[in-house]
Structure formats: C-alpha cells, structure tokens
Structure 1
Amino acid sequence: MSRRWPQSPRGGPHRGDDRAQIVLVAAAVVAVAFLSMTLAYAQLGYDADRTAAGAVDVASLAEIDRSLTASFRAAVRDAETDVGRDVSWRDRRSLVERIRTAVGTDIDRLERSHADESRAVTVTFDDAAATRWAAEHCPSGRGRDFGPCRAIDGVVVQERAGETTVVAAAVSVRIVSPAESTTATLSLRAV
C-alpha cells in the first residue's frame, strides 16, 4: 500500500513543512516573551522584600536628638552632684569621662531599641565637631570673665573662675535601615 502525499499549490508534495515552521516560529516568540517577563520580574525584586522595606518606619532624628540631649543633661547634672558642683579645671578630664560613661549607657540602650525595629543606629562622640562648636559658640566677650573652652573626646568644657563647666557635646549619628540611610552631627547643649 503506497501512500500519496497531498499536493501543495506549487505542485510538489506537501508534508506539513509550512505548519512546522509556523509552530517553530511561534515557540521562539513565546520563549522570547517569557525571557523578557522573567528579566522584568527579577528587576522588580521579591515581593516580600519590598513589603518588609516599606514596613520599617523612618527614624526620627529629632526624637534621637531630644533623647540624647536629655541623657547628656542628666549626666552633667549627676556628675556635678556626685563630685560636688565645684570641679577644678585640672580635673576636667575625669568629669568628662564620668559624663561620657553615663551617656554611653543611654547610647547603648538607644541603639538596642532601634535594632529591635529593624534599623541600625550608631552614635559616637565627635571630637572634631565639638572643637568646631567650641570655636563658634563658646560663651565669651565683654562682661564675661570666662576662660578657654576645650573639646575633650567630644565634650566641650569651659574654665570659669578656676572651675570646670560643661557646656556642650557633639555626637555623630548614623541610621541605616531598608527604608533609609542617614548621617548627622548633633550638638547637645548642657543648658
């Protein structure tokens, strides 16, 4: 039994060659479309990553400033009470260390509380910023009989009648989370 192939319009045998080519071209078009969609989806990222990033609130720098200022003022008040109000100018470094230690405890607490909120907050005393602050803002001038201001490890102190007076401190704050990245320098005034 011999089989006869249908005749194509051109006169030769038609074996479905045209249909196979069309199927092959259609498959190529679909493959290119899938590849394009896959690349576009990969650029958008995993949906849970986007949702998690949007769920993290942005840290309030003003709130951090208020918290650190309150901590600094309390540390100054406590240190002056513990050692007596009159700290001689030559003992200024020990006073600064007591204040830095007390504020450091609050800084650790602040950093831990932000870590619980999926955010990294790093706070460090900034001696260069404290030196600039002392040069620009330190009380002086007519009618004031104050000595020089000194920045010691980020804390500004001033000699007043032979005694040490804590004036300010400067800290650098770095905040990093999926929703933000911020760096700021804060001046904390003692009064």
Structure 2
Amino acid sequence: MKERGQLVLVAAVLVAVALAPVVLAYLQLGYHDDVRAASAVDDPTGDTVRVLDRAVTRESESVPGTYPWAERSAAVTAFREDLEPVRSRLQTAEIERGTVTEIEYNATAASTWQSTNCPSGSGREFGPCRTDRGVVVQDRVGRTHVLAVGVDVTTTTDQGETEVTVVLKGVGG
C-alpha cells in the first residue's frame, strides 16, 4: 500500500511540474478568451472596412460586361450608386450605440494606387488606367473594369476617433 501511495505522489508531482510552464505563460501573457470580440467593441473600423471590401468586390463584377471604355464615367457613376446603400447602412448602423462612421471617397489614395499598380508604356497587357472620383478603372479589351476604390473611414466612439485610408481592390485589381 505504501508503494502505491508513493506512486500517486510521484505522478502528482510530475503533473504539477508539467503544468507549471502553462501557468506561468498564462500569468505573464495575460488571457482573453475572445480577442476579436474585444477589439470589435473597442474599434469597429476593421469591420466597416471588411464589409466595404466585400461590397467593392461584388459591385465591381457587374461593370465589365456593361460599360465600354468610352463610357467609363457612366461606369464609375453606376458603380458608386450601387455601392451607396452599403455605404449609407454602414454610416448609420451603430448610431444607437454611440458610434458614428463616416465614409468618403479618396481620389488621392486611388491615384497613388493607380500610379504604382497600373503599368504604362507599350509593354503593358491592358489599356490605360484612369482615376475618376476615387475609383480606378482600366480599359481591358474595350471594356471598363473597376480595379480599386480609395476611401477614408472615420469612426467616432465614446473612446475616441479612428481614421484610416484604404484602397479596396475590385475584381480586376
């Protein structure tokens, strides 16, 4: 019986020694069971950008089959009109909770993206790119393709204000 008790005691010591590093790591690093949920409460800007990104991708799919390159301004107008319901919903979705979101097109960010991502010269695969009201479009075989959209997202909560400028890629980008 004495040997059995010693065996149990040795096993308990081994388990305690094995768990010590886990306990130390837990105490040193801290722990939160759902980090994403905590950050979403603190700053909803990331969620806004993700929703906008999906909407830009979805809405840019319909442009190439509809608008020839000569009608690229109409394509940009239609694209922005199609994106407007999502933009409006995001701006008002969290007002009851004290969060105000402002989403504006950023032509400068779009132009910067165009200058670094649209090749020019004779060796390019597609036609020229243009930035129109914050939307980068390209001539691809005579059709208008939406490549990217520059936006400024400003989120104001009771904890402060967050401002980000992002370029969201369309299907062609």
Q: 2:94 and 2:119 mapped to 1: Cα distance?
A: 35
Aligned counterpart for 1:182 among listed residues 143, 149, 162 = 162
Which residue does the alignment assign to 1:100? 80
Instruction: After TM superposition, list the pairs within 5 Å mapping 1:48-67 onto structure 2.
Output: 57-67=41-51
Aligned counterpart for 2:61 among listed residues 60, 65, 77 = 77
Q: Which amino acid aligns with 2:45?
A: L
The answer to whether the 8 Å contact 1:147/1:160 transfers is yes
Q: 1:188 and 1:141 mapped to 2: Cα distance?
A: 25
Q: Does 1:129 align with 2:112?
A: no
Q: 1:188 and 1:170 mapped to 2: Cα distance?
A: 6
Shift of 1:98: 0.9
Query: CA RMSD, aligned part only?
Result: 2.1
Q: 2:63 and 2:130 mapped to 1: Cα distance?
A: 18
The answer to whether the 8 Å contact 1:57/1:179 transfers is no
Larger Rg: 1
Where does structure 1 lack aligned partners over 5 or more consecutive residues?
1-55
Q: 2:53 and 2:145 mapped to 1: Cα distance?
A: 17
Change (3 A) 1:155 1:183: same
Instruction: After TM superposition, list the pairs within 5 Å mapping 1:165-176 onto structure 2.
Output: 165-176=145-156
Q: Which amino acid aligns with 1:186?
A: V
The answer to whether the 8 Å contact 1:168/1:190 transfers is yes
Q: Does 1:117 align with 2:123?
A: no
Number of positions where the alignment pairs a residue of Structure 1 with one of Structure 2 = 132
Q: 1:64 and 1:97 mapped to 2: Cα distance?
A: 22
Relative to the length of structure 1, the TM-score reads: 0.63
Report which structure shows greater RCO (CA 8 Å, sep ≥6): 2
Shift of 1:75: 1.4
1:3-59 per-residue CA deviation (whole Å, 9 max, x = no partner) reads xxxxxxxxxxxxxxxxxxxxxxxxxxxxxxxxxxxxxxxxxxxxxxxxxxxxx9322
Which residue does the alignment assign to 1:161? 141
Q: 2:62 and 2:146 mapped to 1: Cα distance?
A: 12
The answer to whether the 8 Å contact 2:63/2:144 transfers is no
